[in-house]
Structure 1
């Protein structure tokens, strides 16, 4: 994970701030377009799962795929390879986003990071409490974390539809909030959705991490040299009983932020730039296609399942805005923080509404929380409904907010 993946060669004279802004603009562009692709994939999954060809939908994802290395044979369904293997690349990009933001972005200074951190915390606690208020029963309470995360691609994509009238600092606030949400979601998965941990697996993962550090120390520049140790880290997490996708976060966080050659962008920027389009346009839509196909024909909202749908949906479309806006107001009111220039309370309201778009991470956590297919389908339905309401309300208020901004500029 060093310098040799294709990326942008930036001249030495380009200042660090301009380089960071260029990377941010590229990131936002990819996320905005991918949000539309993600929406199309989710709609296609719903239509397919409720069509006369619904059996083919489920048969496809249950198709066994074999990995064979000599006498070693590893057989898992296509669903596993998408959710547990390909999504590791998604988490790798998440880890690198976090690493880059800590080094030179929104989290590099405490006074810049504290407000979105507090807002994200409110956007996690309130939805979890709303969900649990409907689902205290054993089994259903496992889904408390489902509505706590924000889907970056969808949220940024909806924001992009509102045009350039939305102030830049509002976009940065939303992006920082969503990234912090991802950090919290990763910690929640690691702490609350792992069981039966095997120390031997952690030893294997640690060996893979040491191999990565060793290759970095020796100056290996080709990203392909890191594939084998990355696979060892992934396999170690799988053996340990931790969800193997978290290996991506670990590898992302240890990707170098400084380049050995000053005229070339750092590895964390180059690798993320190379992988991000693949994640945004291929892996995430494929994940949506494989997991958003809730069949309404066989859906049974009974035995408490209806409360899972209600809890998830309400926590996303109402709990997220209440938590984000409330925590932001409290932080500003007490004098701990100040709103960035150009960010009004109308903009904070827009951020809160868009934060209710859970989708990718929410569905991912739902699959970890529930082994009962009825509860899982109910949770997915709640995610889809809550996210749809958040998109609709976000677009509605966003259009009004954008119009006010245009009038303010005109005046």
Structure 2
């Protein structure tokens, strides 16, 4: 019997509830206690490993989520829908459009006010949430629509990971970075020795190597979640898939809800004091993603001369584009990273992610439900 926390529907609900609890806590009489708890520091004194609770969640626990995402990336790139250039081309073009258009929308609104650095925030799509909406209201949609969404969201995540690695590294220690990479290679080589004798010892050694690689990545100045990504790409496919399967309930039930709760601890300002950063993100996610994904995918299908039987209908592209605007996890992380010296603007960015994602969630629920009903009628 499958664990209930493997359900994308329940995972999406937990993430939404946790984000709502964070907002409510931050705007309740318990706000001071919640903020104080979030900023309690602990770790190894006189080392880079003294972080507050919020940082341990974002840098530590979230690395587990990125490991699971990277295992899925590796599978899709080697054995799944993205293993051939032909299959990957259309979702890659749509993903590029779904990244470029939100950047344009954000910059048009926020750059004139002096906040251009937030442009990466509205570029991400939350795979778990998008699949959760499909699980709730998407029964009857053709399999190729779900596959297209999954491929697009995975490619979207690759772009988000590159942004985190390249744009938000600071005071990089190349010695520690090299050490992290050596440890990751050793982790990958050990994973290929599994299946023979001494399996438990190998697994224990891999866990030690993974923790050491994460610590070295944190000390290097590159965001520590990148260690999770590289470990997920380095691990041998079969043990990686098994590890991801074991971790899935913990990621869905603990890691993502805790991150959403921590990231959403934001005091809501009055509507008149919301900055252009908020409006830029809140519009770029539901509008920019929809226009970018639908427009580029529709043009690409014609340019690539996709056969009518394989073509995704324009109305189904609208369903996928509306789902693409649900940012949440990676967008919340990017919002936290984009404004390190301006906590008030960072809060506006987080609110923009939550508001934009909720708008996209509501729109996609309506559109996906409409398309699913149409396909069910057609099948009947």
Query: One fold, TM greater than 0.5?
Result: yes
Distance 1:204 1:176, change over 3 A: same
The structure-2 alpha-carbon separation of the partners of 1:139 and 1:198, relative to structure 1 and needing over 3 Å to count, comes to farther
Q: 1:386 aligns with which of 347, 350, 356?
A: 356
- CA contact under 8 A between 2:97 and 2:292: conserved in structure 1? yes
- Out of 217, 233, 236, the position equivalent to 2:216 is 236
What is the aligned partner in structure 2 of residue 254 from structure 1? 234
- In structure 2, relative to structure 1, the CA distance for the partners of 1:340 and 1:170 (3 Å cut) is farther
> Which residue number corresponds to residue 358 of structure 1?
327
Partners of 1:301 and 1:378 within 8 A in 2? no
Q: Deviations over 1:371-403 (max 9, x none)?
A: 211110110111111111111111112222222
1:20-31 equivalent positions in 2, closer than 5 A: 30-31=7-8
Secondary structure of 2:51's aligned partner = strand
Query: Corresponding residue for 1:318?
Result: 287
Residue 116 of structure 1, aligned match among 75, 91, 110: 91
Q: Which residue of 2 aligns with 1:5?
A: none
- Structure 1 CA distance, aligned partners of 2:4 and 2:317? 22
Q: Distance in 2 between matches of 1:84 and 1:344?
A: 40
Q: 1:221 aligns with which of 185, 199, 214?
A: 199
For residues 162-173 of structure 1, the aligned pairs below 5 Å read 162-173=137-148
TM-score by length of 1: 0.85
TM-score normalised by length of structure 2: 0.92
Please tell me whether the aligned partners of residues 167 and 342 of structure 1 are also in contact (alpha carbons under 8 angstroms).
Answer: no
Q: Distance in 2 between matches of 1:73 and 1:307?
A: 35
- The residue number in structure 2 matching 1:283 is 255
Could you tell me how far apart the structure 2 residues matched to 1:200 and 1:289 are? 35
Q: Who is 2:275 aligned against?
A: 306
User: Is 1:245–2:225 an aligned residue pair?
Assistant: yes
Instruction: Say which SS state the counterpart of residue 136 (structure 1) adopts.
Output: helix
Q: What residue is the counterpart of 1:273 in the other structure?
A: 245
Q: Aligned partners of 1:26, 1:58: CA distance in 2, in Å?
A: 33
Q: 1:335 to 1:211 in 2, by over 3 A?
A: closer
Matches of residues 11-410 of structure 1 in structure 2 within 5 Å? 30-67=7-44, 74-137=49-112, 140-216=115-191, 219=194, 221-222=199-200, 223-257=203-237, 266-297=238-269, 302=273, 306-335=275-304, 337=306, 341=310, 343-371=312-340, 372-410=342-380
Q: Deviations over 1:170-191 (max 9, x none)?
A: 1121111111111110011112
Determine if contact 1:46/1:294 at 8 Å carries over to the other structure. yes
Aligned-partner Cα distance in 1 for 2:166–2:113: 19
- Against the structure 1 CA distance between its residues 339 and 84, is the aligned structure 2 distance closer, same or farther, given a 3 Å change threshold? farther
Retained in 1: the 8 A contact 2:101–2:292?
Answer: yes
Any gaps of 5 or more consecutive residues in structure 2? none
Are the aligned partners of 2:90 and 2:300 in contact in 1 as well (CA < 8 Å)?
yes
Alignment RMSD, CA only? 2.4
- Unmatched segments (≥5 aa) in structure 1: 1-7, 9-24, 258-265
Q: CA deviation at 1:168?
A: 2.1
Whether the 8 Å CA contact 1:332–1:339 is kept in 2: the answer is no
* Whole-angstrom distance in 1 between the partners of 2:104 and 2:296: 15
Higher mean C-alpha deviation, range 225-234 or range 125-134: 225-234
CA contact (8 A) 2:26 2:266 kept: yes
Equivalent pair of 1:150/1:358 in contact (CA under 8 Å): yes
The farther-off stretch of 284-293 and 210-219 is 210-219
Q: Shift of the alpha carbon at 1:337?
A: 4.2
Give me the whole-angstrom Cα distance separating, in 2, the residues matched to 1:26 and 1:108: 29
